[in-house]
Structure 1
Amino acid sequence: MSIAIVGAGLGGLALARVLHVNGMDCVVYERDPSRDVRGQGGMLDIHSGQRALREAGLVDQFHAIARGEGQDMRLLEPDGTLLLQEDTPEGAPLERPEVDRADLRDLLLDSLPEHTVRWGRAFESADTGVLRFADGSNATYDLLVGADGANSRVRALLTDARPAHIGQNVVELRIADIDRTHPDLASMVGRGNYWVLGNGRSLAAQRNGDGCVRIGLSFYNTAEDWFATSGIPFDDPAAVRTRLVEEFTGWDPRFTALIAACDDTVAPRAITALPVGLTWPPTPGVTLLGDAAHLMPPVGEGANMALLDGALLGLALAAHPDDFPAAVEAYEREMFERTSAAARMSADMQELLMSPDAARRILAFFRPDGV
């Protein structure tokens, strides 16, 4: 029986790899024309997802590309008060290491047999065991797995649910080669994650393995059309930086200096999520994983859940190679429970981030005993 996976993201590739390890074939259909056609984003905090990499036989290779120092964290208030600084000792366990998303995706891609991924195949529709693609081609399947992300087209085969805006808009920026261009700011940010929270705003800076720092400026309790109504000219990077510095008036000058030092890479992003606890009735021949199934606020769980989804679905299929409905039923039962808990936790964390005293509340979350 044939397994078709739509989407060559982390979850879809984890599924393909675990199937391969267990002697089962599949085909991954990806709309991008090649693996390098677009950037894959910044660093990922991989914790529970390491189980998936063990099941895929890739955990040693993962540890080789992971950044243990990426576990460092600094938490500050807008006036510059340092609330928390955690520096990872040399040789510390890789409990929550950071890894470049592109490196992790490459690890998974390179672990698959040639031609497992069919590039340039944008999914359009499916019915009665036939996939149809935007280029007019088609393919047959016995099991279709939607691993096609937040704006999944496969999801519509199972549920009418759609992602909704959660009151957060993010402007993503970066400083390339920060150690050379801005050594003072590089020292301030450190080796891992640097958070400044409060007053309905946040500044999250993250050291990447390629020497750049990615910065996300979040605006909470804002409408979905905020980018259009804010008056910020997003087609003019220099003007964007000037306006963003103004948006953070009253914050410590070090933080606005970080914004002013960014290059011309500007990406506005409205944040959406699916309903917490989303399920659907068992549907023969179709299931979902990753953001297609349970898009959550971006607080560090999404990639881990997607990797686990892929691995656990692969194991279920390997355990029931002649009974895909039984495999999918077992997978969905576990996935609904596990990801609902993760989505509730993510929603709670999102609520903390949106509060006026976010930094103090996050500190209490990480240090409930006050130590």
Structure 2
Amino acid sequence: MAVIGAGPGGLTCARILQRHGVAVTVYDRESGPDARDQGGTLDLHEDNGQIALREAGLLEEFFRISRPEGQEMRQLDPAGTLLFHHTPDEGERFKPEIDRGDLRALLLDSLEPGTVRWGHTLWSVEGPDKGPRQVRFDDGTSIEADLVIGADGAWSKVRRAISPALPAYTGVSFLEAWFHDVETRHPEIAALVGQGGAAAADGERGLFAQRNSGDHIRVYVIQRVPADWIAANGLTGSDTEAIRAHLLEQYRDWSPALRRLISDNDGPYVDRPINALPVPHTWDHNPTVTLLGDAAHLMPPLGVGVNLALLDACELALAVVNSRTVEEAVRAYEMTMLPRSTEMQRLLEHGAEELLSTELPDFAGASGNP
């Protein structure tokens, strides 16, 4: 079996398959596990992501390296007034945080040596629907597989074999900013954010700051803007000072404490327009190709993406283990995954707009931590 994409979903699928003695190889376009920054921190939920890690035999190790204190959440208004503060109870494990890089390392280390083949950029998936499939890479090499699993993210090339759908811009964009050695270099920001996350919004724009491990904080400047807003304002992505000046003007009425999340970052900003797949995204059953995670159901980033990817991976792997044929496994998996993802896609269809909402989190009224 061939898994395309060495993200959390693809690696979890491979790990569970290997635990049950199923041969699998993961192919990834990156040159190696440290080829790029893996992104911010994730909260893995007890009712989906943690289920997959338990099946992978990695749950206790996850608890050992995760950050339960990262479940802290603060909501402020643009004036900097604290509106809501959730702090996790002692021993709370519903959704501990873990850096993306740490989760990936945990999964990679659990696989048999040589499972992941780096430097393999997918070109196409060919061959008859009944298989075997020819998986071709852009270096001219190819392999044969009885099942191709697309775990290759938002712009999945595996998806082309079964669906014409492409992600579309939601109208909301993130601009990511990094802060390093925060307790020493940025103590005011460290105090503002706490051990988890802090958010503020005014209906048109927002800020979300998130504590990462290693004394780092990532901030996401959230705006309702055209996808090409940087160029449309006569700027370039590398012109950090000019982008900063533009943002400070946009957030001119916000408190000085919150504006530091824009003005004091270390290094350049990273443009991250928010895209999503059509709602619902489904496809006709194919006996030798299927998708999981963002390749199947890319949604706005509201805390469900990686959890659904891990649950997809777990259910697909177990379907393969417990079915008589690959076709039977794919059908069983998709009968559960597609309705679930469709329901969640519809729920979050306009979720990008919620990132700008001034309403308090749903759990505010139920918390004992005002």
CA contact (8 A) 1:132 1:139 kept: yes
Determine the C-alpha separation between the residues in 1 that align with 2:70 and 2:365: 23
Mapping 1:172-187, distance limit 5 Å: 172-187=176-191
| 1:287 is aligned to 2:287 | no
1:284 and 1:227 mapped to 2: Cα distance?
43
Task: Give the letter for the 2:152 counterpart.
Answer: D
- Distance in 2, matches of 1:369 and 1:31, equals 45
1:258 is paired with a residue whose SS is helix
Deviation for aligned residue 1:368: 5.3
Q: In 1, distance between residues paired with 2:66 and 2:223? A: 30
Tell me, what secondary structure is at the counterpart of 1:151?
coil
Q: Which structure 2 residues correspond to residues 130-279 of structure 1 after superposition, within 5 A? A: 130-220=134-224, 222-279=225-282
Residue 345 (structure 1) shift: 2.8
Secondary structure (helix, strand or coil) at the match of 2:190 reads helix
2:340 corresponds, among 338, 345, 350, to 338
Which residue matches 1:303?
306
Single out whichever of 301-310 and 276-285 deviates more from structure 2: 276-285
CA contact (8 A) 1:170 1:216 kept: yes
- 1:118-149 per-residue CA deviation (whole Å, 9 max, x = no partner) reads 11111101212211101111100010111110
| Deviation readout 1:15-53 (Å, 9 max, x if unpaired) | 000101111110101111111111100100110211100
SS in 2 for 1:367: coil
Runs of at least 5 residues in structure 2 that lack an aligned partner in the other structure: 128-132
Residue identity opposite 1:235 in structure 2:
S
Q: Distance in 2 between matches of 1:63 and 1:150?
A: 28
The residue number in structure 1 matching 2:7 is 9
Q: Could you tell me how far apart the structure 2 residues matched to 1:59 and 1:76 are?
A: 33
Q: SS of the residue aligned with 1:239?
A: helix
Worse-superposed segment, 226-235 or 166-175: 226-235
Q: Which amino acid aligns with 2:181?
A: D
Secondary structure class of the residue paired with 2:124: strand
Residues 279-327 of structure 1: CA deviation (Å, up to 9, x unaligned): 111112100111100000011111001111111100000001x401110
Residue 50 of structure 2 is matched in structure 1 by 50
Q: Contact 2:201–2:207 at 8 Å: present in 1 too?
A: yes
Q: Could you say which residue in structure 1 is the equivalent of 2:18?
A: 20
* Aligned-partner residue type, residue 367 of structure 1: A
Query: How far 1:168 moved relative to its partner?
Result: 0.6
Q: Give the alignment of 1:346-357 within 5 angstroms.
A: 346-354=348-356
Cα distance in structure 1, aligned partners of 2:77 and 2:222: 14
Task: After TM superposition, list the pairs within 5 Å mapping 1:47-86 onto structure 2.
Answer: 47=45, 48-86=48-86
Letter in 2 for 1:127: E
TM-score by length of 2: 0.94
Q: Which amino acid aligns with 1:338?
A: R
Quick check: 2:222–2:355 contact (8 Å CA) kept in 1?
no
Residue 283 of structure 1 aligns to a residue whose secondary structure is: coil
CA distance in 1, matches of 2:148, 2:99: 29
Q: Residue by residue, what CA displacement relative to the aligned partner does 1:309-365 show, whole Å, maximum 9, x if unpaired?
A: 111100000001x401110001011001122222233235434334xxx22x234x2
How far apart, in 2, do the equivalents of 1:369 and 1:100 lie?
28
Q: CA deviation at 1:278?
A: 1.1
Structure 1 counterpart of 2:102, one-letter code: D
Contact 2:237–2:269 (8 Å) recurs in 1? yes
Cα distance in structure 1, aligned partners of 2:25 and 2:354: 41
Asked whether the equivalents of residues 353 and 362 of structure 1 are also in contact (C-alpha less than 8 Å), the reply is no
Counterpart secondary structure, 2:349: helix
Aligned partner letter, 1:311: C
| TM-score computed with the length of structure 1 as normaliser | 0.94
After TM superposition, list the pairs within 5 Å mapping 1:357-368 onto structure 2. Answer: 358-359=357-358, 361-363=359-361, 365-367=362-364
Deviation at 1:253, TM superposition (A): 1.0
Classify the secondary structure of the residue corresponding to 1:347. Answer: coil
CA pair 94-370 structure 1, distance change in 2 beyond 3 A: closer
Identity of aligned residues (%): 43
List runs of 5+ in structure 1 lacking aligned partners: none
Tell me how large the CA RMSD over aligned residues is: 1.5
Q: How many equivalent pairs are there?
A: 361
Mapped to 2, the partners of 1:351 and 1:319 lie a distance apart of 41
Cα distance in 2 between the residues matched to 1:199 and 1:283: 43
